Amino acid sequence: MKIVIACDKYKGSLSANDVCAVIAKSIKDIDSSIEVIINPMADGGEGTVETLVESSRGRYAQVPVMGPLGDEIKAKFGIIEDNIAVIEMSAASGLWLVPYDRRNPMQTTTYGTGQLIKKALDMDCKKIIMGLGGSSTNDGGMGMAQALGIKFYDAVGNLLGLGGSQLSKIASIDVSNLYPAALDVVYECACDVENPLTGKNGAAYIYAGQKGADSVMIKELNRGLINFAKVIKNDLGKNIRDLKGAGASGGLGGGMVAFLNAKLRIGVNIIIDVTKLEEKIKNADLIISGEGAFDKQTFFGKSAFGVANLAKKYNIPVITINGSVLVDRKKIKRNDGSLFCGNFSILNKPMELSDAIENSAELLEGATKELINFYLKIKRK
């Protein structure tokens, strides 16, 4: 019998590698003859670097970069397969780096993210996977581009500075000083949103508020992104305004496409490719997936949904073991719940979140053993 474990992290308690390891040990405790394949998952957001580095025995690189507020910080990224860099933009430009009372996407910049890209290029990486999510910024990737040598000018030829407030001032873009190696690599941006760059569903209106923008700032940032897209179309010949996913991470998705010819992809699909999950699940009897909270967002590009979609191709049953299940069965059914044979929580009684986090490994072990014992009894009848 072959069981593949492809779980994401339980945020705040267990990493994806930890979750998979606990489930694997629990299965082996019941029947050591079962072949267990571990494939930790991520969706391109927080935890992607750790998951890929740890599961592939890669390494980390830590470098000083400019934080979102302009101060120097240390940020790390991963190197896997010797020449693939895995970067989370939030490591250098994330909201978690900005104190609540200083959050202001008119001022925050993605410059540090560009510095991480530059370091990866200096390390002779041939592919860069960029995780989009958790940003404090709304600069369209302008700062990222500036770190790589691209210059932005206003209508009278003044060189522009950093931050979302500069977008509306852009009149021309000079890419002649782009870092030489920047276009010699493949870029894939992992995102789990399809928001366009501008408009009511764009980067500013949907996300800038949670980054500290008030209603006036949101309107100004949206106007700035409209101008940004217009100048890019005029000077670079690329239309990113209505591109799906261009609004990810405050427009960094669009900037990566415009300046680095990046491809925007659903994050979990990138992880599936990098980890070669499809090859691992062939001839499997069962796939176990899961995440910290199985909720309505699961059906919009989260790991478990991506794993289940892949399993459907081979008609392999999938169950999920989660920290919690926060969507009722009717909604699961409406959202293509037929992909899953069952979705289970590790919680065995009402408890405080702190207790669940503290005892997550023990709870996961117990839930796994109960499910596997039941599965084996049914399977062997």
Which tokens hold the place of 131?
A: 């995780």
The reply to whether 232 and 359 lie within a common domain is no
The reply to whether 103 and 122 lie within a common domain is yes
The reply to whether 52 and 35 lie within a common domain is no
The reply to whether 137 and 54 lie within a common domain is yes
107: domain CATH number? Answer: 3.90.1510.10
The reply to whether 102 and 172 lie within a common domain is yes
| pLDDT at res. 336 | 58
The reply to whether 208 and 311 lie within a common domain is no
131 belongs to a structural domain: yes
The reply to whether 98 and 36 lie within a common domain is no
273 belongs to a structural domain: no
Could you say which of 267, 296, 314 is where a domain stops? Answer: 267
What gap in Å lies between CA 286 and CA 264, rounded to an integer?
A: 31
Q: Cα 265 to chain center, whole Å?
A: 10
85 belongs to a structural domain: yes
The reply to whether 109 and 256 lie within a common domain is yes
pTM for this entry: 0.90
What's the domain range around 200? Answer: 48-267
Angle between helices 267-275 and 303-313 (to 10 degrees): 60
Number of structural domains in the chain: 2
The reply to whether 176 and 242 lie within a common domain is yes
| Strand 324-325 to 293-294 pairing | parallel
84 belongs to a structural domain: yes
The reply to whether 115 and 249 lie within a common domain is yes
277 belongs to a structural domain: no
The reply to whether 83 and 215 lie within a common domain is yes
343: domain CATH number? Answer: 3.40.50.10350
The reply to whether 327 and 224 lie within a common domain is no
Which tokens hold the place of 375?
A: 């599965």
| pLDDT at res. 334 | 57
State which residues of the chain have pLDDT below 70.
329-337
| pLDDT at res. 2 | 97
pLDDT, tens digit, for every residue of 207-218?
Answer: 999 999 999 999
| pLDDT at res. 363 | 97
pLDDT, tens digit, for every residue of 292-313?
Answer: 999 887 887 789 999 999 999 9
Region of 114 on the Ramachandran plot (φ > 0 left; ψ -120 to 50 alpha; else beta): alpha
279 belongs to a structural domain: no
| pLDDT at res. 380 | 81
274 belongs to a structural domain: no
